[in-house]
Amino acid sequence: MCGIAGIINFKTNSLDTTPIKKMTESIAHRGPDDDGFFLDDHAAFGFRRLSIIDLKLGHQPMQADHGRYTIVYNGEIYNFQEIRRQLLSYGCPLTTKSDTEVILHAFIYWGIECVKKFNGMFAFAIYDKKIKKVFFARDRLGIKPLYYSILGDTLIFGSEVKVILKHPEFSKTANLEAISSYLTFRYPQGNSPVFNNISRLSPGHTMVFSSSGVDISKYWEIPFFDKKEDLGEQYYLDKTEELLTNAVERRMISDVPLGALLSGGLDSSLIVAIMNKHSSDRIKSYSIGFDTEGYDESYYASMVADYCGVEHKSLVLDQNDYMDQLKKTIIQKDAPLSIPHEVALLNVCSELKKHTTVVISGEGADELFGGYGRVQRSPMDYKKISFVKQNFPLVLHKPLLKMMGAGNSVNDWLSVNNQMEHFFSVYNWIPFEEKWKIFSDNTMDIIKSDKSNIEFWQKDFERVSAGNTYDQILYMFEKNHLACLLDRLDAMSMAASVEARVPFVDHELVEFASSIPIKYKLKWKSPLHQAKSIFTNSFDASENLDHSKYILRKLGAKYLPAEIIARKKKGFPVPLDSWINNGMINHAKEILLDHKTNDRGLFRHSQLEKLLNNKQNLNYDFWGKKIWMLMNVELWFREFID
């Protein structure tokens, strides 16, 4: 696991390579064990190494074919040994045991199509000096990041945004469309982070840069099946266990100690149980919670650790420490934090770094197998809306939908016209209309009422429009929600010089899970429970009338205590509403209502006052989340734009 950086220009014979050192030093946390540089008239590559595999011979930048090809690479290829044996049989001159050399020679032998052979997480750049092109690739699900910016004829790239910010010709301005996307979806959707003129290479894509410019191609995407053949519960259970076990075993290959993030929830517990079964050494696991009742899962994490016989350590973070670290964490990430627990995640990664360098985590299970039941069950509500509108006179719409679970939200239900609009009504942190009232007129002119953000989602909904409505929503989580979680895991783990691996995001498991019928993911407890759902909304039905992640719970019965299998999803919550009532509101007002924020003109001062002074009675700390996000945006502006 490493950090990479680069500067490329094929229209000059005297490339200014001076910035590459500072660009590379800015991500020293990603690779404290080693550094390396490559410089010529057209390209400058920088590299920071976190030694995981082949500790002695994995130095980068690495070259081949008498200096024609040069690679910088961040990630792990879990099947590199198989590919290495294949390359050796073809006579390729491999001299190390590193996956870097395998990628380079696979590229030389198969070209950019080599990415289809890799199972792993990766972002790399390969410079072909002879034909003056640089080839880039990013793994299928986007586990490893790759950012780039084009400044005239020069392309600069890196593992983190801060690499690009260190280039003297880059000008920092805010991308307000990305910030608007962040405030509603907690993450800038698509390829645009919160700075203008910086892009992310999309997951499952390659890119070629030459004197002709940039050419981007897709080599993989999450499969979506308009129709699915039902092969029976036992088949899906057995195949899921086989693929998940293979994925975990692959990610246990390491020349340094391994650990695991263990929350006590189903996903991380299942990972730890499988790790323990296939490890000759005692696994170390780690968790972190908050000193507020209901926000510390250490009891369940310890239960799993004792049951599996692993060595566990639980940490606790209090309000003062959290607030002290909030700004520092924003600076580390170069962006507003997407999820409140990122501060805690950085803390636990910093602690486990004292004992290990590689940690395995459970990201991806909720997206693939139906763990966000309150939203992923929402097509049930949309079907009711459509049925009532299409089959009954207008005068009956309200009373019928109220009877079917709409309650006081009946007007919101009636306002939606399609599946995407209904999805927006349940999948948001700050709803569009509420956010638009907070934005100033100037900001609204720039974001054009979120036109580009809505069109981004619309393309995905159009792609899957012929499929089951439940599968459509799970696809949105797999493609767009998961990107946020993977981004925050990479940023916070690498900030502590820790490599995080994610077995549930193994592309073979993802491809298979996409073929599983929805009834094996979200399963009604009985026909009677399904009948009751007619008069219940999706939020109340989820985990009360159905089983979320049904197939994983069935699998968990082989590995885990019954109490863990039956647990409702918790989701690593942060007690923001409690903290706001305990003084955080004053800190928020100091930031959001002072002259700096007002003079910036991004928000309406009166609407900020209204939000801060009128507590919203929302579940899951959503009032606190809204205030927390707005604080993040303002703190980011002050650090990076002012």
Following DSSP, what letter does each residue of 555-569 receive, concatenated?
A: HHTTTS-HHHHTPPP
DSSP string, 344-374: HHHHHHHHHTTT-SEEE--TTHHHHHT--HH
Residue 84, CA distances (Å) to 74, 96, 102 in order: 18, 10, 6
Confidence tier at 57 by pLDDT (50, 70, 90) = low
Q: Is the pLDDT of residue 71 over 70?
A: yes
Q: Determine the average pLDDT of the residues in 108-133.
A: 98
- The strand pairing partners of 32, in sequence order, are 49
- 19 vs 16: CA distance, rounded Å: 7
Question: What is the amino acid identity at position 350?
Answer: S
How high is the pLDDT of residue 330?
Answer: 98
What average pLDDT does range 287-295 have in this prediction? 91
Q: Does position 54 have pLDDT exceeding 60, yes or no? A: no
- Indicate the DSSP class of residue 440: -
pLDDT of residue 50: 79
Distances (CA, A) of 632 to 178, 182, 359, 479, 488: 14, 10, 28, 25, 15
Pairing of strands 154-158, 147-151: antiparallel
CB 266 within 8 A of CB 570: no
In this prediction, residues 372-392 reach a mean pLDDT of: 96
Annotate 180-233 with DSSP letters as a single string: HHHHHHSS--TT--SBTT-EEPPTTEEEEEETTEEEEEE-------SS-----H
**Mind listing the pLDDT tens digit for each residue in 446-493?**
999 999 999 999 999 999 999 999 999 999 999 999 999 999 999 999
Q: How confident is the model at residue 181 (pLDDT cuts 50, 70, 90)?
A: very high
| Mean pLDDT (the chain, rounded) | 95
pLDDT tens-place string over residues 37-48: 999 999 999 999
Using alpha carbons, list the distances in angstroms from residue 507 to 121, 221, 514, 531. Answer: 10, 10, 10, 36
CB-facing half-sphere around the CA of 639: CA atoms within 13 A:
21
β 258-261/284-290 pair status: parallel
What residues are paired with 37 via a beta bridge?
46
pLDDT digits (tens, 9 = 90+) for 550-589: 999 999 999 999 999 999 888 888 999 999 999 999 999 9
- Nearest residue to 224 (alpha-carbon basis) of 471, 455, 419: 471
Could you give the C-alpha distances from 96 to 191, 227, 253, 324, 449, in angstroms and in order? 35, 46, 16, 45, 54
CB 1 within 8 A of CB 51: no
Whether the CB-CB separation of 217 and 206 falls below 8 Å is answered with yes
For residue 133, give both structure tokens.
């092109």
CB atoms within 10 A of CB 305: 26
Residue 424 has pLDDT above 90, yes or no: yes
Ranges 158-162, 292-296, 392-396, 592-596: which has the least confidence: 292-296
Token readout for 94 is 């491999």
Helices (H), 216-318: 233-250, 266-277, 298-308
Residues for the chain: how many in total? 642
State the residue for tokens 């410019």.
213
Asked if residues 482 and 364 have their Cβ atoms less than 8 Å apart, the reply is yes
**Residue 641: pLDDT over 80:** yes
Q: Token digits for 194?
A: 């919160």
Strand partners, 156: 7, 149
User: Are residues 17 and 39 in contact, defined by beta-carbon separation less than 8 angstroms?
Assistant: yes
SS3 391: helix
Residue 559: closest CA among 277, 312, 331: 277
Q: How far apart are CA 277 and CA 275, in angstroms?
A: 5
Helix locations, 90-122, DSSP H: 99-110
Hey, which residues are catalytic here?
Answer: 2
* C-alpha angle 393-397-403 in degrees, rounded to nearest 5: 135
What is the reported pLDDT for 570? 82
Give, as one character, the DSSP assignment of residue 167.
S
Angle at 236 between CA 230 and CA 240, to 5 degrees: 150
pTM: 0.96
What mean pLDDT comes out for the span 402-427? Answer: 96
Half-sphere exposure of 619 (CA within 13 A, CB side): 5
Distance of CA 637 to the CA centre of its chain: 23
For 218, what's the count of Cα atoms within 13 Å in the CB-facing half-sphere?
Answer: 6
Decide: residue 408, CB within 10 A, 0-12 exposed, 13-18 middle, 19+ buried.
Answer: exposed
pLDDT at 52: 64
Answer whether residue 55 shows pLDDT above 60.
no
Residue 448: alpha-carbon gap to chain centroid: 27
| Average pLDDT rounded to a whole number, residues 347-372 | 95
pLDDT of residue 281: 87
- The pair of structure tokens assigned to 2 is 């490493």
Side-chain-facing half-sphere of 249: CA atoms under 13 Å? 10
How far apart, in whole angstroms, are the C-alpha atoms of residue 547 and residue 568? 9
Tokens read off for 563: 């109490």
The rounded distance, in Å, linking the Cα atoms of 393 and 28 is 65
- The residue-averaged pLDDT of 11-37 equals 95
pLDDT tens digits, one per residue of 500-559? 999 999 999 999 999 999 999 999 999 999 999 999 999 999 999 999 999 999 999 999
pLDDT given for residue 90 in this prediction:
94
Residue 280: its pLDDT value, please?
Answer: 85
CB atoms under 10 Å from CB of 259, counted, come to 26
Look up residue 349 and give its two tokens.
């990664």
Taking alpha carbons only, the member of 276, 350, 261 closest to residue 306 is 276
3-state secondary structure of 476: helix
**AA letter at 582:** N
**Residue 366 pLDDT more than 60?**
yes
Please spell the DSSP secondary structure of 592-632, one letter per residue.
HSSHHHHHHTSB-HHHHHHHHHS----STTHHHHHHHHHHH
Peptide bond into 61 cis (omega under 30): yes
Question: pLDDT by residue (tens digit) across 297-316?
Answer: 899 999 999 999 999 999 99
pLDDT of 115: 98
Q: How far is CA 607 from CA 122, 203, 432, 437, 603, in A?
A: 43, 37, 14, 7, 8
Q: Of 559 and 256, which is predicted with more confidence?
A: 559
Percent of the chain scoring above 90 in pLDDT = 93
User: What is the reported pLDDT for 56?
Assistant: 61
